[in-house]
Amino acid sequence: MGQFQLIATVKQSQGSKQPFTAAKISPNGQKIALCNGPDIEIYDIHEKTSVLLSTLHSRPLSDLCWSPDSQCVATASDDFTVIITHVAYGELHRLVGHTAPVTALKFTHKGNLLCSCSMDESIKIWDTLTGSLLRTLSAHSEPVVSIDIPPHDASILSSGSYDGLIRIFDTATGHCLKTLTYDKDWQSENGVVPISQVRFSVNGKFLLVKSLDGILKIWDFVRGKVVRTFISGESNSLRYTCGMDFLYPAQEADDPIVVSGTETGEIVCWDSQTKQLQHRIKRKHCGNPVMDISCHGSLMCSISLCGECNLWTWVDSESTA
Amino acid sequence: MTNLLLQDPFTVLKEYPERLTQTFETPLQTCCVEFSHGGDYLAMGCSNGAVILYDMDTAKPIAMLGNRGGGHVRSIQSIAWSKDDRYILTSSRDWYVKLWDLQKPGVPARQVRFESPVWTCQWGGPFDLGCIATVYEEEYAFSINLTPETPVVAKICDVYEYLGEDEKESEENEELEQQDFGYTLVACVHPVWKEILITGTSKGWFKIYRISDQKVQLVHSYRFAYSNAKHMIISQSGDRVAINSSDRTIRQYSLTANFELTEFNFALEHRYQDVINRLQWNSIRFSSNSAEYLVASAHGSSARDLYLWETSTGTLVRVLEGAEEELMDIDWDFNHMCITSNGLETGNVYVWSLVIPPKWSALAPDFEEVEENIEYREKEDEFDQVGQFEQQQELDQAEEVKIDLRTREKFDVRGNEINFNRFVIPLDYDSILMLKHWDK
């Protein structure tokens, strides 16, 4: 058993002026980038200071993604475009092509490709060196809200959509390789259950999927089987795409933790092996949906819709005792 | 490489590429090609000394070696990637061997000047960061220690080969001296026995050296032909050697040795010749692991294809067509199963790969693709009512199997190692910005 300890408050609640939707720890573990309206706020974890990096987006951001070298941040905006901003040099590319708000972004581990998905039901793959569109994958029939690429393998990409389907694509050809449906009969009583987030395990063999009924599942996507189910006990028709991530404790022997935010402002952690509830954080993000969870090493960053952003660290109960 | 697990297994497991899928029209005349070990990048050496690295994901150039000074100024002869894909060795007709660190590809990290053009340069030899080079009109190969700032070059020759006449005593050594092997043209470090170096000479000899600490020993020599060696390749498993010589023949040997690595034996397996046109072969390459296939490009303006033989039987199994000109150098990427070759006239680079058809049934789960219509027959248990309880129990059981989210797969389905992180060439932000301002 272990639990999270609060180590810093990155940002206080901003009231209800504008929604805050994403906060991500950089791959080198030194910074946190968060969406602040149409701009990016970069928080330095050691200095505990933040700077505002303005972008040329005309509408608020819905997601952002660090490049693997931690030098650039790509932002997805409601103005249908994606901008890649270098932290020191400023804007590198503005990627225009989507015909509806862009919902999520992901760089490959080599940093040479950027994938984006949008409310226009398509996924686009961009060349980050030239900023040109390489290919468009359209195989969903509702907004695509989440995409992910395994940490060491850019050959596949997974997407989750409001049409209730999780698809695995070949990044090189754009072909759909596999479709995971929600359970056996994916038409549940009240229609399909929209998928809200997908996330690969660090070895790229499993896929964590969250849907708008508040249930998380780990899929063995090659065989097409669900191997773990976690139920957060929320209402089964949620409105917000709340965040989730895997946390890998430093001890190799410790099982990875599934961390998930809820619409009621709680953060729930399960042991991925035993499905045991490890920790349920209630005292922060009071009542406000936890929109994004980002883990790096034993660090975890959470942000809620009102802008409250906290940085946590995972502590083993043995070391605290 | 998880995509291979989800594609059609019969296509994925094909052992050689089938169709021309990509042509790089490079602005410079390419004269040699080399894939990085992971297959992420393709290095093209050009006739003016430039080396351009292409990103295979985007099919665009990502870096150029020596664009900040210190590049080669004559045609590139060979390119070799280090095991982790971070370093590149190039040899050129401008008499230089250069080492490049891709963290800073703009300038060479080390360079060595010889007294004449350099034929080949390959990783290996007795040093941690070292290589073996063969040079024009030199009797012996050279080993280069690249660790010090100024690399140290040493001839690879047995003491007995090198000693003056009067110092020779035993008859055996005298015999050795009398034999004129000619110039060393090609050299390969054995992929399994790292201390063994095989060289090929201009008079048609194989020479096997054992290089240990401070000592070089000529352990075996074998005459394969009466003409000079052009290329030599050793299979990844180390038991098959092929040599392309200027007598228009590729000879394939099985190489065996005793346990102490003191005795070697070459057994001729096959000779590949073009019996009709008597063409020379430009370049040769083995497939991965135990080298079940051999691919070669033919010399002459009438030849425009790559020939692929099965090495166990020596039969021609495939002709890779599509290029409109004579093909020169060849490289084979085992990770993505593609073969590349450069054209002589245009300097374009061609890539042949597997074409994997889309699987439409992947789009709709529970659907199956069938070759022809099948008459529907109800299965015995198709409409059985399974109790909700039993169903739940089954699902619960599936969730008790241990899962491992951390450990990565060691090998892909084709048997290539994928367990370690290969070097990623950093994006050159300066040039992105420069191009952006250029546009404005």
The pLDDT tens digits of the residues spanning B119-133 come to 999 998 888 889 999
Q: Please report the sign of the dihedral spanned by the C-alpha atoms of residue B225, residue B228, residue B231, residue B233.
A: positive
Assess whether pLDDT exceeds 80 at residue A236: no
Q: In chain B, count H helices and then E strands.
A: 6, 28
> In total, how many domains does chain B have?
1
Name the helix (H) or strand (E) containing B392. helix B388-398
Choose the closest CB to B403 out of A127, A171, A273: A273
State what percent of residues in chain B have pLDDT above 90: 50
* B388 burial level (CB within 10 Å; 0-12, 13-18, 19+): exposed
Assess whether pLDDT exceeds 70 at residue B177: no
- C-alpha B148/C-alpha B129 separation (Å) is 9
Number of A/B CB contacts below 8 angstroms equals: 137
C-alpha closest to that of B285 among B253, B244, B319, B337? B244
Contacts of A67 in chain B (CB under 8 A): 427
Choose the closest CB to A176 out of B62, B362, B402: B362
What is the length of chain B? Answer: 440
Integer Rg of chain A from CA: 18
Q: For residue A233, what pLDDT band results from cuts at 50, 70 and 90?
A: confident
Contacts of B358 in chain A (CB under 8 A): 173, 175-176
Contacts of A254 in chain B (CB under 8 A): none
**B421 and A152: CB-CB below 8 Å?**
yes
Contacts of A179 in chain B (CB under 8 A): 362-365
- C-alpha A44/C-alpha A41 separation (Å) is 10
- C-alpha B194/C-alpha B123 separation (Å) is 11
Task: Record the tokens describing residue B308, joined without a space.
Answer: 């692929």
**B362 and A156: CB-CB below 8 Å?**
no
Give a yes or no: residue B233 inside a domain. yes
The enclosing domain of B71 has a CATH number of: 2.130.10.10
pLDDT at residue B383, rounded to an integer? 76
pLDDT at residue A17, rounded to an integer? 73
Contact status of B172 with chain A (Cβ, < 8 Å): no
- C-alpha A211/C-alpha A191 separation (Å) is 13
Q: Which is more confident, B399 or B183?
A: B183
Assess whether pLDDT exceeds 90 at residue B332: yes
- C-alpha A301/C-alpha A306 separation (Å) is 15
Choose the closest CB to A175 out of B55, B359, B433: B359
Contact A123, A134 (CB under 8 A): no
Mutate to test the interface with A, among B5, B6, B420 (most CBs of A within 10 A): B6
Assess whether pLDDT exceeds 80 at residue B150: yes
**B405 and A152: CB-CB below 8 Å?**
no
pLDDT at residue B380, rounded to an integer? 81
Q: Please report the sign of the dihedral spanned by the C-alpha atoms of residue A174, residue A179, residue A182, residue A186.
A: positive
How close A238 gets to chain B, by Cα (Å)?
25
Residues contacting residue B399 through CB under 8 Å, at least 6 positions apart? A226, A227, A228, A229, A275
Q: Please report the sign of the dihedral spanned by the C-alpha atoms of residue B121, residue B38, residue B236, residue B234.
A: negative
- C-alpha A251/C-alpha A276 separation (Å) is 18
Contact B315, B332 (CB under 8 A): no
Contacts of A220 in chain B (CB under 8 A): 403
Residue type, B418: I
Give a yes or no: residue B259 inside a domain. yes
C-alpha closest to that of B228 among B154, B162, B280? B280
In the DSSP assignment, the letter for residue A191 is B
**B57 and A128: CB-CB below 8 Å?**
no
The pLDDT tens digits of the residues spanning A149-204 come to 999 899 999 999 998 899 999 999 999 999 987 655 544 566 788 899 999 999 99
pLDDT at residue A161, rounded to an integer? 93
Choose the closest CB to A128 out of B4, B399, B427: B427
Contact B293, B308 (CB under 8 A): yes
How close A10 gets to chain B, by Cα (Å)?
29
- C-alpha B295/C-alpha B300 separation (Å) is 17
pLDDT at residue B162, rounded to an integer? 59
Q: For residue B56, what pLDDT band results from cuts at 50, 70 and 90?
A: very high
- C-alpha A117/C-alpha A138 separation (Å) is 10
In the DSSP assignment, the letter for residue B148 is S
State what percent of residues in chain A have pLDDT above 90: 64
Give a yes or no: residue B68 inside a domain. yes
Give a yes or no: residue B136 inside a domain. yes
pLDDT at residue A320, rounded to an integer? 47
Give a yes or no: residue B134 inside a domain. yes
Integer Rg of chain B from CA: 26
Task: Record the tokens describing residue B108, joined without a space.
Answer: 């060479």
Residue of A nearest to B357 (CA): A175
Contacts of A224 in chain B (CB under 8 A): 365
In DSSP notation, A121-177 reads S-EEEEETTT--EEEEE---SS-EEEEE--TT-TTEEEEEETTSEEEEEETTT--EE
Q: Which domains does chain A have, with CATH numbers?
A: 18-241 (2.130.10.10)
SS3 call for A318? helix
Contact status of B433 with chain A (Cβ, < 8 Å): yes
Mean pLDDT (chain B, rounded): 87
User: In which domain, by residue range, is B185 found?
Assistant: 16-161+179-353
The pLDDT tens digits of the residues spanning A57-97 come to 999 999 999 999 999 999 999 999 999 999 999 999 999 99
Terminal alpha carbon distance of chain B = 40
Backbone torsions φ then ψ of B396, nearest 5 degrees:
-60, -40
Contact status of B275 with chain A (Cβ, < 8 Å): no
Mutate to test the interface with A, among B359, B405, B412, B422 (most CBs of A within 10 A): B405
**A203 and B424: CB-CB below 8 Å?**
no
pLDDT at residue B2, rounded to an integer? 84
Contacts of B409 in chain A (CB under 8 A): 203, 205
Residue type, B154: A
Give a yes or no: residue B226 inside a domain. yes
Residues contacting residue B313 through CB under 8 Å, at least 6 positions apart? none
**Which CA distances in Å does B156 have to B161, B174, B264?**
10, 19, 19
How close B371 gets to chain A, by Cα (Å)?
19
How close A237 gets to chain B, by Cα (Å)?
22
Residue of A nearest to B420 (CA): A152
Mean pLDDT (chain A, rounded): 89
Give a yes or no: residue B377 inside a domain. no
Give a yes or no: residue B328 inside a domain. yes
Task: Record the tokens describing residue B399, joined without a space.
Answer: 């969730």
Hey, which of A105-114, A250-259, B383-392 has the most confident mean pLDDT? A105-114
